[in-house]
Amino acid sequence: MKILIGLEIHVQLTALASKLFCSTDSSYRERNPNICVCPVCLGLPGSLPVVNRKAIEYAIAVAKALNCEINDKVIFVRKHYFYPDLPKNYQISQYDGPGFTPIARNGYIKIFIDGKSKNIRIRRINVEEDPGKIYYIGGIEETPYSLIDYNRSGIALLEIVTEPDMGSPKEARIFLDKLIAILEYLGVVDTNLEGSFRVDANISIEGYGRVEVKNIGSIKDVEKALTYEIIRQKRIVEQGGVISRETRHWDERKGVTVPLRAKEFEEDYRYFPDPDLPPIKISSDMINKVISALPELPDQRIERIIKQYNLDEYRATILVLNKWLADFFEEGAKIYSNYKKLADILITDFLRWVKEFSIDPKRLSIKPHTIVKLLELLDKGVLSIKMVKELMPRIIKGDVDIDEYIKLKGYTKIDDETYIENIVLEVFKENPKAVEDALKDPKAINFLIGAVMKKTEGRADPKKTKDIIANMLRNIKDSNR
C-alpha cells in the first residue's frame, strides 16, 4: 500500500516587529489580552489594511530558499466565513485558482532518507493573517461562552503547502526538520515560540479517500499522529472497508484522531480580490535585493562544511540542521583542526545532553573553546574517552570547571609505566589465584586488567596496563621454569 502524505504548514513571521496589515506590536505572547490591538486588526468599521513590506520580503526569501517560482505580483483575497476569532468575518489571504495566484509556487526541498536524496515538492506559499485566539471556561463543550483575545489577530503568517510526496511519517519528520532549519537560517521565525509553527496533514492510501488531520500541536506529535492515522486507515482497508474524504482532529492526550463534526454544507468562501489592497508589484529589483541579503542556507552550508572540513554528508547534515550546533562547530574549528573528532563529539554526547536537559541553545553557557579543551586533553592522554563522556553532562550543566576538577581529583590519565607497574604488583599480591589462572589461560588476563582499572578509578591507560601485566606474567612464567 502506497502512502501519500502532504503537509500544510502555517509559519508565523515572528521576526517582524509589527503585524501584517497594521503597525501594532506583534510581540503578543505573555501579555494581557486585547492590548496589542488597533482599529485595523480589530476590524473596526472604516479600518483599512496596509501591507508590511518586510513581510513580503520574508515571503520572497522563503520562496527563494524553497526553490519556488515567485509571482510578479501579490494579490490578496478575502476568504469569508463567520467565526468569533475572525474580526472581519473574512480572512485576508491568497488563493490558488485561475487569475488569483499565491506569492510563490512550484518549489521543492531536498531531503535525505535511507541514504538517498528525494525532493519534496512545494505546491504553493501564501501570505495571510492570523485570527485571534479563543479561550474556554472549562472545555469547549461545557463553556457557557467563549473568550476572545485579539492580540494575535493580524499577525503575519506564511502558509506552505506541499504535494503529497512524503511516503511515511519518518519522511514527514525529516522534511519538517529541514524546513525548520531553513526558516531558522533565514531568521524569519523562532520556532521555539508557542504557536509559531503549526502543521496540518493530509494522509491517504493510494486509491482511497484523503483524510485531513488538524490540531497537531508540536513537531514531535507529527510522527505520532501520522503513524496512528496510517495504521487506522490500513486496518480499514485490510478489512475491505472504504475511506471517504474527511477532516479529523488529533487528540494528543488519547493519542488518536477523532472525526470532526460534519458541517451542514460545504463551505463556500466566496473568494474575491480584496478591493482595499491593489496588487503589489514584485519587481526584479525587490527580488534581487532579497537574494543579495540571503544568508547561507542549509544546503549551501552542508556543501561548504563537507568541502572545508572534509566531513561526510551525514555528519555535515546533522550539524547544519541544528544551526546553533554548526555555529558552535565552526567556532571550535577555528582553534582545533581535528574536525572529524570535533564533529563527532558534538553530534553525539554534546547534542544528546543538551537535548536531554532541554537547554535552550540560545542560553547555553558553555563555549566552543571548552569542548576544544576537552578534546586537547583527550589527545594528550590526560583524559580518557570514558572520562570525557562522564564529564560532558556536568560541563554542559556548568557545574564543573575542567582545570579545577583535574587538580582536585588528580583526574589525569595514568600512563606512567612505573606507576602502573606498582599497581600491577599490588594487584598480583592481592589476587594470587587470578594470577595462577592467567598463567594457565591467557584470556583470564582481563580480570587482572579490571582489578588495575578499579584501583586507579579507570585512569590507567588500558593498553599499557595490558602490556605491563602481560610482561609480568611472562616474567613469572620464565622465573618459574
Contact residues for other proteins, defined by CB under 8 A: 16-18, 22-26, 31-39, 42-56, 73, 78, 80, 82-84, 87-90, 99, 134-135, 140-141, 143-150, 261, 264-265, 268, 270, 272-273, 275-281
The three cell numbers locating residue 87: 474580526
Nearer to other proteins, 291 or 408 (CB): 291
Per-residue exposure over 326-343, b if at least 16 CB sit within 10 Å of its own CB, e if not: bebbbebbeebeebeebb
**Interatomic CA distance for residues 429 and 439, integer angstroms:** 14
Alpha-carbon distance values, 259 to 88, 217, 235, 238 (Å):
28, 17, 16, 20
Q: Least distance (Å) from other proteins to the CB of residue 49? A: 7
Per-residue exposure over 260-296, b if at least 16 CB sit within 10 Å of its own CB, e if not: eeeeeeeeeeebebbeebeebebeeebbeebeeeeee
Q: Least distance (Å) from other proteins to the CB of residue 259? A: 14
Nearer to other proteins, 145 or 254 (CB): 145
**Interatomic CA distance for residues 123 and 94, integer angstroms:** 13
Nearer to other proteins, 51 or 236 (CB): 51
Q: Least distance (Å) from other proteins to the CB of residue 272? A: 6
Q: Least distance (Å) from other proteins to the CB of residue 100? A: 10
Nearer to other proteins, 154 or 164 (CB): 154
Close Cβ partners of 132 (under 8 Å, ≥ 6 residues apart) = 84, 85, 86, 87, 148, 149, 150, 151, 152, 153
Q: Least distance (Å) from other proteins to the CB of residue 58? A: 9
Bridge partner list, 250: 257
The three cell numbers locating residue 227: 503513524
Nearer to other proteins, 84 or 241 (CB): 84
* Stretch (H or E) spanning 213: strand 211-216
Nearer to other proteins, 92 or 179 (CB): 92
Nearer to other proteins, 270 or 340 (CB): 270
Nearer to other proteins, 35 or 335 (CB): 35
Q: Least distance (Å) from other proteins to the CB of residue 11? A: 17
Q: Least distance (Å) from other proteins to the CB of residue 196? A: 17
Nearer to other proteins, 69 or 72 (CB): 72
Q: Least distance (Å) from other proteins to the CB of residue 194? A: 18
Query: At CB < 8 A and 24+ separation, what contacts does 387-391 make?
Result: 387/411, 387/413, 387/458, 387/459, 388/345, 388/349, 389/349
State the number of CA atoms in the 13 A half-sphere of 135 facing the CB: 9
**Interatomic CA distance for residues 8 and 166, integer angstroms:** 12
**Interatomic CA distance for residues 294 and 287, integer angstroms:** 11
Per-residue exposure over 118-146, b if at least 16 CB sit within 10 Å of its own CB, e if not: bebbbbbbbbbbbbbbeeeeeeeeeeeee
Q: Least distance (Å) from other proteins to the CB of residue 92? A: 11
Q: Least distance (Å) from other proteins to the CB of residue 87? A: 6
Nearest one of 7, 76, 68 to 221, comparing CA atoms: 7
Q: Least distance (Å) from other proteins to the CB of residue 107? A: 23
Nearer to other proteins, 83 or 314 (CB): 83
Bridge partner list, 126: 159
Q: Least distance (Å) from other proteins to the CB of residue 23? A: 4
Bridge partner list, 246: 211
Euclidean distance between the first and the last CA atom of the chain, given in angstroms as a whole number: 74
The three cell numbers locating residue 5: 502524505
Q: Least distance (Å) from other proteins to the CB of residue 327? A: 26
Q: Are 258 and 248 in contact (CB under 8 A)?
A: yes
Nearer to other proteins, 35 or 425 (CB): 35
Q: Are 234 and 259 in contact (CB under 8 A)?
A: no
Nearer to other proteins, 99 or 432 (CB): 99
